[in-house]
Amino acid sequence: MKKVGIIGVGEYLPKKILTNADLEKMVDTSDEWITTRTGIKERRIASSHEAASDLAINAAKEALKDARLKPQGLDLIIIATITPDMQFPSTACLVQANLGAKNAVCFDISAACAGFVYAIIVAQQFIARGTYKNALVVGTEVLSSITDWDDRSTCVLFGDGAGAAVLSEVKSGGILSTYLGSDGSMANLLMMPAGGSRNPATHKTIDKRLHYIKMEGNEIFKSAVKIMVDTAQIVLKQAGLKCSDVDLVIPHQANVRIIMAMAKRLGLPSDRVFLNIEKYGNMSSASTATALCEAVKVGRIKKGDIILLDAFGAGLVWGACLIKW
């Protein structure tokens, strides 16, 4: 098996900023409630002509530049998204066409907020076995397109963005251990009920507002901390490492209270946890992807550091990946 690592990262955030003050004018909420309950101050909103593939393409170009790789050098593109441009074809194919990555095999992954971690681990399998050499993995979301702007319990949480990584064989370090988990018995806690084959779009589904995110946030909160802690401990054990060996955790950015509770249980000081939730809210698959990219850009990740990616989301699904940078 070959060693696999991340050789380039990139991100793209739409220009438009929606602040908590803006939301105060839209629904019965307050900056104080949103800040103390979630840690979010503002989020980005895609323009009307920006779809998930557009965000992904921008993030991908930056990641390819960082990796010093031409699009033709890619033989695999995996896009993690729950807001694809359309039901089919895959957003990965749309990204491929725009990049001119004509040698790549392309498909999407639906693993909600854990999508980027899922996609990294899938790409790793192909590269480790020697099936493919260079993979582009992108977490991209236009959650604003499925957000009910009249529902204060969800609309304050989500934002739009994309983050990308290029994976390839590395001589040393790279991905040390991985773990994925799923529990479909909790699927009802977070979903978009209509638009698929269960409830195809009709006037009725639209009138009932079924094409928006429905979430029982409180119930998810209860499972989230335990899942993230357990998942972290599994990958650490597999790699023969301890929490104190971790230089930086890149967690899914759903709620700062979930993240800090996880860090506390793991005995990790807060300065070893990377946050971008304050600026962007919860961007599902794009959260860990952009956080990883930003941590690299601001110098929080250096060669030889041990990095823990840890995410969970609708499904429920979860996953973690321990990387020596």
Does the CA dihedral 279-284-289-291 come out positive or negative? positive
Say which of 106, 252, 255, 321 is annotated catalytic.
252
**Distance (Å, rounded) from C-alpha 207 to C-alpha 297?**
44
Asked if 38 interacts with ligand UT7 (CB under 6 A), we say yes
Active site residue 321: no
User: How much is the CA Rg of the chain, to the nearest whole Å?
Assistant: 19
| DSSP output for 178-237 | EEEEE-GGGGGGEE--SSSSSS---HHHHHTTTTS-EE-HHHHHHHHHHHHHHHHHHHHH
**Distance (Å, rounded) from C-alpha 113 to C-alpha 35?**
21
Q: Residues 306-325: x/- map of binding to ligand UT7 (CB under 6 A)?
A: -------x------------
Pick out residues in 268-297 that bind ligand UT7 (CB under 6 A).
282
Asked if 255 interacts with ligand UT7 (CB under 6 A), we say yes
Pick out residues in 175-234 that bind ligand UT7 (CB under 6 A).
190, 217-218, 220-221, 224
Asked if 153 interacts with ligand UT7 (CB under 6 A), we say yes
Q: Which is nearer to ligand UT7, 37 or 211 (CB)?
A: 37
Q: Which is nearer to ligand UT7, 166 or 220 (CB)?
A: 220
**Distance (Å, rounded) from C-alpha 81 to C-alpha 90?**
10
Interface region with ligand UT7, contact rule CB under 6 A, candidates 14-22, 136-144, 149-157, 270-278: 149-157
Say which of 113, 155, 293, 321 is annotated catalytic.
113
**Distance (Å, rounded) from C-alpha 92 to C-alpha 136?**
10
Active site residue 49: no
* H helix or E strand, kind and range, residue 77: strand 76-80
**Distance (Å, rounded) from C-alpha 148 to C-alpha 213?**
7
Residue pair 313/299 in contact by the 8 Å Cβ criterion:
no
Q: Which is nearer to ligand UT7, 110 or 153 (CB)?
A: 153
Q: Residues 67-106: x/- map of binding to ligand UT7 (CB under 6 A)?
A: ----------------------------------------
Interface region with ligand UT7, contact rule CB under 6 A, candidates 31-39, 66-74, 141-149, 199-207: 31-39
29, 35, 199, 233: which one binds ligand UT7 (CB under 6 A): 29
Provide the phi-psi class of 209: left if phi over 0, else alpha when psi is between -120 and 50, else beta.
left
Residue pair 228/251 in contact by the 8 Å Cβ criterion:
yes
Catalog residues that contact ligand UT7 under the rule CB under 6 A. 29, 33, 37-38, 113, 152-153, 156, 190, 217-218, 220-221, 224, 254-255, 282, 313
